[in-house]
Structure 1
Amino acid sequence: MSLPQPVPPSWKDFGKSSNDLLQKEYFFNGASLEVKTQTASNVAFKVAGTKDSKSDVINGDIEGKWSDKAHGLTVTQAWTTSNVLRNTIELENQIAKGLKLDLATSLAPEKGAKTAVINSVYKQSGFHTRASLDLFKGPTFTADTVLGRDGFLIGAEAAYNVTEGKISRYATAVGFNAPQYSVAVHGLNNLKVFTASYYQRINADVEAGAKAVYDPKSTLGGVGLEVGTKVYLDRSAFIKAKINNAGVIALGYTQGLRPGVKAQFGLAIDTQKLNDPNPVGPSHKVGVNFVFDS
């Protein structure tokens, strides 16, 4: 008798290890601050703000999240500095085990713009599927499914425009997940763009990854390549580095200052424009991020 299969990753997390290694924790577009706290009544608050180094524009938002774990209910409300109100209501494992439903809405009163999306997620052993209906855009129905067995993964996504009565977008992916490494190949944009990613945990202190993208509309001859690594210095600090075939080198450093306090620094250097007189842009960028989590 075969063993129960673990729940595979969702479509958006297909190839997540490589994407996180190459994209997350690089802060070089300005200064940002994030403050998190939670009350005794199980309400979590988050305040975040960013100052863009190029435009000097400051963007921020304040978010409150209330959870009733006993009944699988979560309510999230957020208000941004651009005067956009966001609300999300989630219900998980109540109608059926493994089923999560949510309604996400947004409203910009000044512009009169509004969105409403109904989402559903259902996951079981070896199976993970999602579906969403955008009520005001299209309306558009989007669905994706990932199947997994013995580490092998296969997934597909499609978007259907209800008004026009046709499929507006489709994609597919295959991959393999192992305890120490993972690989994934995607066919995106109606199979016009292809990506291949690889991730490996070399040992307890070193991770490495790479990603290749083939896009006929790319300015780099249609092919983009990026490789990176992450090295843990100790339990509270690590360094990340990556380089792409456009000659841009990026560095990231994260340091835990004390429990709940973290400082992150980033630097991006365009090696083809080392003589740029402006050291912080547009060719070269530097940034910092602070996180306070009580």
Structure 2
Amino acid sequence: MSLPQPVPPSWKDLGKSSTDLLQKDYPFQGVALEVKTKTPSNVTFKVAGSRASNSSIIIGDLEAKWIDPRKRGITLTNAWTTANVLKTQIEAENLLAKGVKLDLVTSLAPNKGSKTAVLNAIYKQSGFHTRAAFDAFKPTLTLDTVVGRDGFLVGAEASYNVTEGRLNRYALAAGFNAPEYAVAVHALNDLKSFTASYYHRVSADIEAGAKAVYDPKLTNGGVSIEVGTKTYLDPAAFVKAKINNSGVLALGYTQSLRPGLKASVGIALDTQKLNEVDPAGPVHKVGLSFVFDS
């Protein structure tokens, strides 16, 4: 008798370990600040703001999130951005049946008169993870499914335009997850572009990963490759580094200054233009990020 299979990752989380390693904790685009607080009534407030290094505009949002204390799986999130966009998200998990999650996401921009409403339905169980999303104002139906067994993963995604009665796009993916490593291959954009990612936990203190992308529209017929690593200096600090085949080297350092306070610094260097000055903007980038979580 075979052992019960774990719930596989969702379509968007295939290759997530490699993506997080190569994308997160590199705050070299500017300055960012995030503050989180939680009230006794189970409401979490988050204020986030950022300013790009090449702009004087500050972008931010105020978010309030309420989780039902009676553990019925209901969560309500409201956000208001500096672009005057109101966002609401209502989640209900395991309310109708075990493994079923319903999620309604809406947004309203009064100044522009634009609005969105997307209803998501998620069902997951042993060896199976599927999602459906219906965009009411387009209208578009998107379906994706991932099945897994003994670490092997196979997934597919398709988007269908209900009004026009045609398939907008489709994609396939395959991968393998193990405790120390993970690999994933995606065929996207109607199987016209491809990505391959790899993640390896070398030891308790060292992680490594790589990602290759082939997209005729973005890579001019070639392949874009990026490799990176993460090293824990101690339980409260780690260093990250990555480089791509365009010669851009990025470094990141994150330090937990105290419980609830984290600071990160990032730098990106174009190694092919170390001594050049570009009139269009800075060749190299430096940024800071602070996170307060009480």
Alignment TM class, shorter chain as reference = over 0.9
User: Structure 1 stretches (4+) deviating beyond 4 angstroms?
Assistant: 278-281
The within-5 A match list for 1:51-90 is 51-69=51-69, 70-90=71-91
2:220 and 2:231 map into 1 onto residues whose CA distance is 29
The within-5 A match list for 1:93-104 is 93-104=94-105
Match of 2:43 in 1: 43
1:276 and 1:79 map into 2 onto residues whose CA distance is 41
Amino acid at match of 2:283: S
Structure 2 unmatched runs, 5+? none
2:259 and 2:196 map into 1 onto residues whose CA distance is 37
Match of 2:164 in 1: 164
Match of 1:233 in 2: 233
Amino acid at match of 1:128: H
Amino acid at match of 2:22: L
How big is the shift at 1:278? 6.7
Match of 1:151 in 2: 151
TM-score when scaled to structure 1?
A: 0.97
How big is the shift at 1:72? 1.2
1:247 and 1:221 map into 2 onto residues whose CA distance is 18
Partners of 1:279 and 1:285 within 8 A in 2: no
How big is the shift at 1:57? 1.4
Instruction: Percent identity, please.
Output: 71
1:120 and 1:219 map into 2 onto residues whose CA distance is 35
TM-score when scaled to structure 2?
A: 0.97
How big is the shift at 1:27? 0.4
Match of 1:260 in 2: 260
How big is the shift at 1:91? 0.6
Partners of 2:277 and 2:283 within 8 A in 1: no
Larger mean CA deviation between 50-59 and 120-129 belongs to 50-59
Partners of 1:128 and 1:146 within 8 A in 2: yes
Counting matched residue pairs gives 293
Amino acid at match of 1:131: A
The within-5 A match list for 1:1-294 is 1-69=1-69, 70-137=71-138, 139-219=139-219, 221-277=221-277, 281-294=281-294
2:228 and 2:277 map into 1 onto residues whose CA distance is 27
1:278 and 1:288 map into 2 onto residues whose CA distance is 22
- RMSD over aligned CA atoms reads 1.3
How big is the shift at 1:41? 0.5
